[in-house]
A and B are shown apart, each in its own frame.
Chain A
Amino acid sequence: MRVVIAEDAVLLREGLVRLLADEGHEVTAAVSDPLGLVEAVAEDRPDVCIVDVRMPPSFTDEGLRAAIEIRTRWPGTPVLVLSQYVEERYATELLSGDTRGVGYLLKDRVADVREFLDALGRVAGGGTALDPEVVGQLLARATHRPHDELTPREREVLALMAEGMSNAGIASRLVVTEGAVEKHISSIFTKLGLQPTEEAHRRVLAVLTYLEGR
């Protein structure tokens, strides 16, 4: 996998480069500002970019804006955004339009190497990876709505679905069979009145739209 990294903190940038190299990925560019990122994407056309939200010059949301720009200029380029904080609002901005090949994770998740690499792989493969904390915020927002009728297990499945996990991923996380997961999912879709769909990213979009709707 060819990866471009944009991260201004040297320690984390170098750490990511080593981590990905260990896994046999090729880091084509590791830059420290949004301009460098856009240039690197234009030149290398990577399989996925890892982008920090806070970067120079103003250290607010440059990375997020660069990520959105990349996705408008080269549609379909997978982007995994890392942030010191995850906020539902950023997620909404990032996911508006197309949830294919988009990830938004708390920087801390890098510490769980295996899960981080899974998420990166999912995004590079056109899937979605949404931080559990964002999903938690969305779920909390929607507490007083009909998904209260969901069973605790179904709520867990709903959260993992919103994070962008595949049926297989959910099954292994909850230590159940894929068949059981499928049953839960169809029950959730029925209870929430959503259109069932096979495609993973459409499914994420449906769940997010449902959770977002106020």
Chain B
Amino acid sequence: MTLPPPPAAVRTPNPVLLALRAPFEARTWRETFHLLFNLPVGIATFTVLVTGFALGFGLLITLIGIPILIATLYVSRAMGTIERMRARLLLDLDVPAPYRQDPPRDRWWRPYASRLTDPATWTEVAYLLLMLPIGIFTFTVVFTAWVLGISLLFLPAYAWALPNPVHVVDAWVQITLDAHPTAVLVGAPGSRWVIDTPIEFVLVTLIGAAIILLTPWIVRGLAMANRYLVRGMLGSDLVRRVQTLTETRAAAVDLAAEDRRRIERDLHDGVQQRLVALAMDLGRAKDKMDTDPDRAKELVAGAHEEAKLAITEVRDLARGIHPAVLTDRGLDAALSALAARSTVPVTVGVDVSARPPASVEAAAYFVVSEALANVVKHARATTAGVTVRRVDDRLTVQVQDDGVGGATVVEGSGLAGLRDRVRALDGELHLLSPDGGPTVLMAEIPCAS
């Protein structure tokens, strides 16, 4: 989970102003709605899950229970997802889904078994069941507080219209109208407070106002507790982090193996073939030296060409493994050279004050290299732009073109390799490529240096 950056400067506002403003803030009302919705949500989740599990376990013997249980688990995940969404919308809390990744479907039951044994599934189920009692509590408290505050505040305005007696809230607080323009406030059953003088009306209004001013803080406290619950039971930073690390490590290892295979192929198919041809030409030239010097000369000339081509291939191969100029002069120089070699005109803008770590520079370089190769191969673009910026400890690399778009990350492709390379450094790769273009490839890599 990423935390929002702390505000640059925190102003200390006037506390009185703060208190007066609280009831009208959007945040207060979002949280209020969240806490009120807890009840219907709780009723729904509790009913569905209890029914599903009861049916499922009850019918387990007849085997019909199995699909019911599986369906219930899927429903519970869906409800968990909705709950996380609700928390994101109303509580400003972004909790990533904590689930394990589904294993490959080599046996039909594998994904189900994995979900069944995923601890995240069961803490989520517990949360969804707990939602009912929690919902009852938060609904009652928040509803009572707001309704009491508002109805007391405006009592003088409508007291005359009240029937006699009328129950506004519940057994503890009743407002009743006695005869004419008077109201009766009833505390605990039996103790009645008849409100019939202007001073009493003012007093009641003030009490209402006080409750309204107090309620946002009750709401805020409950919402805070609710956030802890969501974070603790619907998400798990640690699980997600471990999972991401495991995945990216595996991807990085795969990537390294894939790179080695590619280098081996290039050496075999390219340079080695050339050297073999070269050795053959030289061998034939040696034989012909005395008998047919002209032919020998031709063969040596051919060998000379082969040798030069082999040198070029080795150079290109080495540059593909790691470009020397990147180490010596950094991203700006290396990317300029890349751009210069591209057949599509490329503009390069690099704004990197302090050089990032070598691994980050290399990843950024290969992102640009692969992206430009794709631009040339697929995009049918007329221009491309490369921007690299370092803001604090994040390096942002963006490559865009004015081509036809429609690029996707296909497993095993160069882009997938890039994604793995970037993720291995805890970065993110984003691809935006609608049909019809343009294509924007962006990599964000953290570089703590």
- Interface residue ranges, A against B (CB under 8 Å): 54, 60-61, 84-85, 87-90, 106, 108, 111-112, 136-138, 140-141, 143-144
Contact = CB atoms under 8 A, between A and B. Distances in A.
Contact of A137 (B304, B307, B315, B337): B337
B295 interface: no
B311 A89 contact: no
A108 B325 contact: no
Contacts of B327: 60
Contacts, number: 54
B307 A111 contact: yes
B315 A108 contact: yes
Nearest to A140: B340
A60 B319 CA distance: 14
A28 B10 CA distance: 71
Interface stretch (B231-239, B328-336, B396-404): B328-336
A108 B337 contact: no
A141 B339 CA distance: 8
B272 interface: no
Given A61-B328, A89-B333, A111 B340 contact: no
B345 interface: yes
A143 B347 CA distance: 11
Contact of A87 (B308, B311, B315, B333): B333
A30 B85 CA distance: 72
A143 B336 contact: no
B47 interface: no
A204 B371 CA distance: 34
A214 B275 CA distance: 42
A61 B330 CA distance: 13
A111 B345 CA distance: 32
Given A89-B333, A111-B311, A60 B345 contact: no
Given A137-B341, A141-B339, A85 B311 contact: no
A108 B308 contact: yes
B345 A143 contact: yes
A26 B382 CA distance: 52
B438 interface: no
Contacts of B383: 144
Count chain B CB atoms within 10 A of each CB in A112, A138, A140, A144 and give the residue with the most: A140
B340 A138 contact: yes
B324 interface: yes
A88 B319 CA distance: 15
Given A87-B329, A111-B307, A137 B340 contact: yes
Q: Counting chain A CB atoms within 10 Å of each CB, which of B319, B336, B342 scores highest?
A: B336
Among A60, A85, A106, the one with the most B-chain Cβ atoms within 10 Å of its Cβ is A85
Nearest to A139: B340
Nearest to B382: A144
A108 B341 contact: no
A84 B319 CA distance: 10
Contacts of A54: 324
25 contacts: A54-B324, A60-B324, A60-B328, A84-B318, A85-B315, A85-B319, A85-B323, A85-B324, A85-B325, A87-B329, A88-B333, A88-B336, A88-B337, A89-B325, A89-B336, A89-B337, A106-B315, A108-B315, A111-B304, A137-B340, A140-B340, A140-B341, A140-B342, A143-B345, A144-B383
Interface in B192-231: none
Given A85-B319, A136-B340, A140-B343, 9 more contacts: A60-B328, A84-B324, A88-B333, A88-B336, A89-B337, A90-B329, A111-B311, A140-B340, A143-B345
A136 B341 CA distance: 8
Nearest to B383: A144
Given A60-B327, A143-B345, A87 B337 contact: yes
Given A54-B324, A144-B345, A88 B312 contact: no
Nearest to A60: B328
Nearest to A133: B341
A138 B318 CA distance: 22
B308 A112 contact: yes
A141 B323 CA distance: 19
Nearest to B330: A89
A108 B308 CA distance: 7
A66 to B, nearest CB: 14
